[in-house]
Structure 1
Amino acid sequence: MQRDWDTFLMPYQQAVKELKLKFRGMRMQFLQASTHSPIEIVTGRVKPVDSIIEKQSRRYITDALLESDMQDIAGLRIQCQFVEDIYEVVDLIHQRKDMEVVEERDYVTNVKPSGYRSYHMVIAYPVQMVHGEKKLLAEIQIRTMSMNFWATIEHSLNYKYQGEFPTALKERLKRAAEASFMLDTEMSEIREEIQEAQQLFSYGKGQSLPPYHASDKKDD
């Protein structure tokens, strides 16, 4: 029997919309309190049907176990300014009563051989549907903007080469990842100076709130 994908994905679409709204709301709360927000950019997506089918085949996931074994059908990405912010966001998620952390993988400290860095969390999130509550899994990736730039480029190249990178390119990507993390490290060293400058810039003309970030207005 062929799956009705529109019906199947509907709660995941609702979950992504709700989670984006909640994390963007958290960001605005920090800004309204005139404090540094560990959350800078929030985006999300529901995995396309073709990608679900491909991954299901590659991982040998049966239809019956699709909802429990494929943890990233609903995906959220949170970008931060500083590495320290990543762990603050992790703590904020653990404190939430409306989502339960079921798995987490720290690729910031335990960097992958490719150079990839990010903090992954899988949460169980309850969606209120017409016929009752449905609890589903969603993956949250938390990374700095520098890490996100590298990961986006690497993902595009991976699609082109189907994971079989030429040796020279693989080495250059790894060096680029190390340079990217060095940038993050340097920014952390002068974090207080940066935050003070940002506050002066934002409030220098008596603004009641810092300017909206594009991600606060756009539904990605």
Structure 2
Amino acid sequence: MKSPERSPAPDVEADGSGAVRIDELRVLHGQFVDFMLDYKFAIDEITTKFNILREDLHNSNEYNPIEHINSRLKSPESVLEKVQRKKYPMNLASIRENVLDIAGVRVVCSFISDIAAVRDMIAGQEDVTVLDERDYITHRKPNGYQSLHLIVSIPVFRVDRTVRVPVEIQIRTIAMDFWASLEHKIYYKYRGQVPPNLLAELTRAAEAANQLDEKMESLHRLVDHNGHRAPISERQGGLDFSALYENLLAED
């Protein structure tokens, strides 16, 4: 049975100088939804790449530096707010060019040395292009924040086209991730106006997290020293404390 044809949508008066058609608004909305799908699919592509690396390393009995992977897609409201705040042109081409953190993937590692390994694995893939790299580990932010940020471009294959989409990848350790999560919650609670004493405590916590990372890194190297490396089944994704304990007793 054929559906009845819809009558033309009425105009909606925007102001005294003109009108905005409802059907035009629907078209714009549809275009933006389709635009955001590019980024959703880009996240799917990147997370799949990391999951393949994890499984491949596990299958080949190699050490896996990836603890876990998170992702997030900016909301349309957040994207448009940033465009307005930065005074970028309000069109899709401008958003694609200027707002590079719509799609975000975070990779959490066990040890500091894992970060470079993960970076090289993903950046070395043929269809991944590194657009920007910011090392907030070597050059820590004043508030103590640490992470390696990559902006990469990857192809997303749609039904009717192929489009290269930017994705922000953050690579950090468990300690860095825990601190960043706490800092985000505190800034959200105080709406960016964090009391000075609390800021000082956050800075001290960042230093403590950094010291923990350095200590864990030295323990990690101790486990691997002189070939005393535990089987992959025992150490997959983390530090093997039983092997560490045996090494410490042997040195005593």
Quick check: 136-145 or 86-95, which moved more? 86-95
Number of matched pairs: 206
Q: Secondary structure at the match of 1:190?
A: helix
AA at the equivalent of 2:214: T
Q: Secondary structure at the match of 2:66?
A: coil
AA at the equivalent of 2:128: M
Distance 2:76 2:228 in 1: 45
Q: 1:117 deviation in Å?
A: 0.2
Identify which of 57, 67, 79 aligns with 1:30: 57
TM-score between the two structures when normalised by the length of structure 1: 0.86
Kept after mapping to 1: 8 A contact 2:57/2:63: yes
Distance 1:88 1:76 in 2: 16
Q: 1:62 deviation in Å?
A: 2.0
Kept after mapping to 1: 8 A contact 2:115/2:172: yes
Q: 1:70 deviation in Å?
A: 0.6
Q: How do 1:67-82 and structure 2 match up within 5 A?
A: 67-82=96-111
Q: Secondary structure at the match of 1:23?
A: helix
Q: Secondary structure at the match of 1:37?
A: coil
Q: How do 1:1-220 and structure 2 match up within 5 A?
A: 2-4=28-30, 5-64=32-91, 65-193=94-222, 199-200=230-231, 202-203=233-234
AA at the equivalent of 2:233: S
TM-score between the two structures when normalised by the length of structure 2: 0.76
Q: Secondary structure at the match of 2:192?
A: coil
Query: For each residue in 1:168-205, what CA deviation from the matched residue of structure 2 results, as whole angstroms up to 9, or x when unmatched?
Result: 0000001001100110000000104557999458359x
Query: For each residue in 1:73-107, what CA deviation from the matched residue of structure 2 results, as whole angstroms up to 9, or x when unmatched?
Result: 11110000000111111111221101100100000
Q: 1:27 deviation in Å?
A: 1.2
Q: 1:158 deviation in Å?
A: 1.3
Q: 1:67 deviation in Å?
A: 0.8
Query: For each residue in 1:23-82, what CA deviation from the matched residue of structure 2 results, as whole angstroms up to 9, or x when unmatched?
Result: 011011111222211222112121112221222222222223111111111111000000
Aligned-residue RMSD, C-alpha: 2.1
Distance 1:102 1:62 in 2: 21
Gap change, CA 1:88 and 1:50, over 3 Å in 2: same
Larger-gyration structure (1/2) = 2
Distance 2:152 2:223 in 1: 32
Distance 1:34 1:54 in 2: 46
Kept after mapping to 2: 8 A contact 1:146/1:180: yes
AA at the equivalent of 1:12: Y
Distance 1:84 1:136 in 2: 28
Kept after mapping to 2: 8 A contact 1:80/1:143: yes
Instruction: Name structure 2 gaps, 5 residues minimum.
Output: 1-24, 238-252
Quick check: 5-14 or 101-110, which moved more? 5-14
Q: Which has the higher contact order (CA 8 A, sep 6+)?
A: 1
Distance 2:66 2:223 in 1: 16
Q: 1:126 deviation in Å?
A: 0.7
